Amino acid sequence: MAVLGEVAAITGAGMGIGRAAAVRLARDGAKVALLDRDVAAMDEVAEEIARSGGTAVCVAVDMLDAQAIAGAFARVARDLGPVDVLVNNVGQSARERARPFWEGDPDLWDFTLDICLRSAMVSTRQVVAGMRARGSGRIVNMSSEAAFLATDIIVDYAAAKAGLIGFTRALARSLAPSGITVNAICPGLVRTRVMDQLPEETVRRAVAGIPIGFIADPEDIAAIVSFLASEGSRYITGQSLLANGGKWMI
168, 167, 169, 145: which is closest to 158 by C-alpha? Answer: 145
Q: Quick check: 144 and 156 in contact, CB under 8 A?
A: no
Distance in angstroms between the alpha carbons of the first and the last residue of the chain? 27
Report how far residue 223's alpha carbon sits from residue 185's, in angstroms, rounded to the nearest whole number.
Answer: 11
Distances (CA, A) of 169 to 9, 57, 89, 175, 197: 21, 30, 17, 10, 34
Hey, which bits of 53-160 come out as E strands?
56-60, 85-88, 137-142
Is 157 a catalytic site residue?
Answer: yes
Q: Quick check: 19 and 217 in contact, CB under 8 A?
A: no
Given the residues 73, 111, 148, 157, select the one marked as catalytic: 157
- Number of Cβ within 10 Å of residue 226's Cβ equals 25
Report how far residue 19's alpha carbon sits from residue 244's, in angstroms, rounded to the nearest whole number.
Answer: 19
User: Residue 32's beta-bridge partner residues?
Assistant: 8, 56
Which residue numbers are catalytic? 157
